Structure 1
Amino acid sequence: MACSQSSDVKVSPHDKEILNQIFNPGLPYGDEVDDDGAENVEAVEETEAIKKSKELEVQGVKAAEAGDVDGAITFFGRAVVEAPDWPSAYNNRAQALRLKGDDEGAKRDLEKALELSQHRGTVACQAFTQRGLLRKRAGDDDGAKEDFQRAAELGGGFAKQLLASMNPYAALCNQMLGDVMQKLRAGQGEI
């Protein structure tokens, strides 16, 4: 989940303009909102505890990538104990808990990550996105949209895509475009 302008999500200039029109309908087509400053968070002094927590988080990520979700949860739990005021550890543990199916545990960790991050920065962006996914899965579309909107405001490209997909007009346009493309591939139509 990328949560800044330098996200891994590749979006064409045309797609950016379309997304900008969805999120900023009052602006003329082609104008952009400057997202600089979305990361405005006071610098946190990197204590020894935070350094150790980061090391444990790296081990947790490696465990998760190797398919050892329980091991990842253990590493992230140790990271939380090492630096209980470090929001990233809670956010990462929430991701692992989500993978394990422990939505309630994930929600608790996401709430703590949001509290500690003061709803700002990359960790908050990721936490809002994760919480939005949990809310969507639970059938709370309004809550999910609210979280995706908050993440999008923090620069989350993935959250913007999720919001656009929840827009009924966008969904209809995507369906119509898919139908046209399918007919073109089958040689049944012309543009």
Structure 2
Amino acid sequence: MGNRVAREDYEWVYTDQPHADRRKEILAKYPEIKSLMGPDPRLKWIVCMMVVIQFLAFYLVKDLDWKWVLFWTYAFGSCINHSMTLAIHEISHNTAFGNNKAMWNRYFAMFANLPIGLPYSASFKRYHLDHHRYLGGDGVDVDIPTDFEGWFFCTPFRKFIWIILQPLFYAIRPSASTPNPSLSWR
């Protein structure tokens, strides 16, 4: 088999998209959930607070020994950065300012991306919406691991390394596996 991952190494399912089916099923059973859909007025304030806290933390650790910088980066900064990636996900669905202010959401996602260090929010929305539209679509859904990931990260230790580097793969995989030279601001 060499360095390639065989199609048999993946589970292929040929059914309707589970996101849409599950949404219909939930809304049919609990129609009151519809009132919870839409912009969250608190999101923008929580994100602003997290960005300010991260930049304050950058300042506070500037004179610490490197060991303490690593400790606080792991114990504190990584939690907020994880929350920021989740916020960018939510903002990609226009939950900060609503669907009628899509550009405001786009710029706000870039603001939320500032303390993360790896600029990915600009391309995230495009690839994420394609993920929802073509869930599991071979060559389209960038959440499917690349052949290299499937081949290389196949032992417990290598999977552990993948987990540590997962944010990096998540940020780089879309443009590496499905390059889209004409990223529009949709």
TM score, norm. by length of structure 1: 0.30
* TM-score normalised to structure 2 length: 0.31
